[in-house]
Chain A
Amino acid sequence: MSIADPIPEPAAVETASQSRKLLLVGNPNVGKSLLFTRLTKRYVTVSNYPGTTVELTSAETRLGDERREVIDTPGTNDLVPRSDEERVTRDLLLQGDADVIVVGDMSNARRALMLAIQVSEYGLPFILCLNMADEARRHGSEIDVSALAQRIGVPVVATSALRGWNIERLKREAARPRHVALEANYGDLIEHQIAQLQQATNVSRGMALAQLIEADGNAGYAIARARHAAAERLLNGQAHVVRSAQRGWREWLGDLAMHRVWGHAIVAAVLFIGYLFVGRFGAGVLVDFLEETVFEQHVNVWATRAVDFVFGAGFIHDLLVGPYGVITMALTYAIAIVLPVVITFFIFFGVLEDSGYLPRLAVMLHRAFKRMGLNGKAVLPMVLGLGCDTMATLTTRILETKKERVIVTILLALGVPCSAQLGVIMAMLAPLGWQGTAVWLGITLGTIFLVGYLAAKLVKGEPADFILEIPPIRTPKLSNILIKVSARAEWYLKEAVPLFVVGTLLLYLLDAANLLVRLQTLLSPLVVGALGLPAEASNAFVVGFLRRDYGAAGLFAMERAGHLTANQTVVALVVITLFIPCIANFFVMLKERGTRAGLAIAGFILVSSFAAGWLLRIALDVFGVRLGA
């Protein structure tokens, strides 16, 4: 499986016989990545996600007798570079040694044509692919592609990447793209400026227009309007199906999911189903089987025997199979405890993603998010955070402004427990009854909201506009979901497992140098004095820095042994929930937000988690509340 191959330097493309590259340029959510998969017969994940369309994906294909390199570019509605990804697309077009397949949704052909006009302005040969022809046929917005091809002057192919319609034909036509000038009429003033720019800098019309738009936003708007009108003329009255006219069960369900009342009921139902599938089945049934049966009874036993046999007792033995051993701790943890939760979560998440529910969830949560300086689009990383905060921190790349990326990173690290931790927390809350649960939930949500609200005021920058396209509700295809789950599981194994190993090594070294005990002594005034917990709870917080759920598990053991009262349990739970998620998340924060910002966020979280616990303890004492009594 190949995801995110870097773009090779032109000189390095020997395998594709120095021929012109083939760029897939298209609107967002038109099935472009799946089309890429069909064209190249190589699997990539289909949605926007780190490692997929946010980075460039390339592979080879055979067009006739020729081998060509196909590059998938991020989805965009225009070629004015506003983000780094769009800049990469524009730069690829500027290199000029590429043919282009412009990909659009047949039901939204006007938008595809607006993009085609821009590609033609860059002076590149192209063909037009109107994908999702199956859906267009279903709701009667099919377009006469041969008539359109005559008007434009380039081949137009109707495809369905999902059903594999016309892929061979697309390949045939892609071998003979045409160069045409689809020029919109921008009016005398803009045309004059284009001419001046072209004369002065000797650039293509497309580049001159891009420069003009970057320099003058009002010109940009006029240009976009002119392109819209030109696309309308090319369509010649075709494709004016309004979605509201098509009312099947999918449309009905789609509307219900955004209904001001029923929408919330659906949010609750979806969360509950997620809890049953991930929390009960994944974190319960599967983890029990893998941890207790597979690892504890077999893998760890065999590994210990093998290591004993080869190395005997000593340093290597402890390193591999000791209490902080790479196999007994890191691998057991990564594969037996976290992997099943990750996989079940991503199956659930994949269903939500492919059904088109997530944008609707964004609509439902937009108002609450707006108060935290975010908008509904932040739903994706926040929901993903319930699976794995580390992975979710990486997806903050899809957010448009730096302000949003910083706020979401803080909120994820602060208060969104990953599924592994959530499992332990649920188990600890069970004996506390509804009061304890309500206090924990109220304090956690309240802290997230308060920090989000303050961050919205303090973090500099503008929030991004909430303008979000809502795709139609689709029936998810199991094969697509499984492909995506496997790509994400592979990502998890490659990215997260090495960090588990590093974390375990660190713990091993701390323990070997007797520093672990010292750290615990150092922490005890805070833990005992401020939080009112037993001294041994310090251990939980030390390991909690490596994995928040390790810490929670330690507290769980104390609770079961009767070392914690109900009040102490809730205080400890609040602190560990608001703690740094894990060392992997910490490293990713440093990587994504930079060392300074990453350290500042981590420091802030450390302080605020203990402060929240301390304040809760004082409040419980002052009001004489005795939970679980």
Chain B
Amino acid sequence: MIECPLCSLEFEEATCHASCPLARGCAMVRCPRCNYEFVKEGFVSRMLSVILSRGEGSQSTQPEILRSAQDDTMTLLNAEAGSTVTVARIVCDSTHRLQRLASLGIVPGVKLRVASKRPTFVLEFDYTSLAIDADVAGEIDVTGS
């Protein structure tokens, strides 16, 4: 599922690709509702966002265009160790992983304390400590309080 960063519509596939002559290898996606164009994924854009975020300290590794449309959210990767954050959303292709996180209690709105980030992420909420891989942490968008 792809979520439009502007109007939040969730849609299945890049429908704009079906008729577009430049669709092959195109990483851009156009929202069928509001026509906003944004980066879904692509090697260059991902590398660029990693490089950009490296220089900006606590910035997100999400593509810049996504973040500009999405206020103050960041991925857990960029939350500081020791800080308390609130889950904003989980951006994940694997529904199995989503369900697994939800059944453990990680759903939007839940407050988490980032106990540590290395060697792996350790999150605390309620009376639960959960270790998760950085790949999973990168899919959890949070806000800073």
Contacts and interface: CB of A to CB of B under 8 A. Distances in A.
Q: Real complex partners, A and B?
A: yes
In the complex, which of the residues B116, B126, B129, B132 has the most CB atoms of chain A within 10 Å of its own CB atom?
B129
Contacts of B98: 217, 220-221, 224
B103 A114 contact: yes
Interface of B: 1, 94-105, 107-108, 113, 115-116, 118-120, 122, 124-133, 135-136
A628 B101 CA distance: 55
Contacts of B95: 217-218, 220-221
A53 interface: no
Contacts of A243: 124, 126-129
Contact of A366 (B104, B108, B120): B120
In the complex, which of the residues B94, B96, B115, B120 has the most CB atoms of chain A within 10 Å of its own CB atom?
B120
Interface residues of A, number: 50
A475 B112 CA distance: 27
25 contacts: A77-B104, A217-B94, A217-B98, A220-B98, A220-B99, A221-B102, A224-B98, A225-B108, A239-B126, A242-B124, A242-B125, A243-B126, A243-B129, A244-B115, A260-B118, A260-B119, A364-B119, A465-B94, A465-B96, A465-B136, A466-B133, A467-B100, A467-B131, A467-B132, A472-B129
Contacts of B130: 467-470
Contacts of A425: none
A317 interface: no
A367 to B, nearest CB: 6
A466 B132 contact: yes
Contacts of B128: 108, 111, 243, 469
A241 interface: yes
A107 B133 contact: no
B100 to A, nearest CB: 6
A244 B124 contact: yes
Interface string A93-131: 000000000000101101100100000000000000000
A363 interface: yes
The 3 A-B residue pairs with the shortest CB-CB distance, nearest first, are: A217-B95, A224-B102, A107-B127
Dominant SS among interface residues on chain B: mixed
Given A243-B128, A362-B131, A467-B132, 16 more contacts: A78-B103, A80-B99, A111-B103, A221-B102, A240-B126, A242-B126, A244-B115, A255-B115, A255-B116, A258-B122, A258-B131, A359-B131, A366-B133, A370-B133, A469-B130, A469-B131
B113 A217 contact: no
A78 B99 contact: yes
B119 A363 contact: yes
Contact of B131 (A221, A241, A366): A366
A402 interface: no
A42 interface: no
A139 interface: yes
Contacts of A225: 102, 107-108
Contacts of A467: 97, 100-101, 104, 130-133, 136
A562 B122 CA distance: 53
A470 B133 CA distance: 13
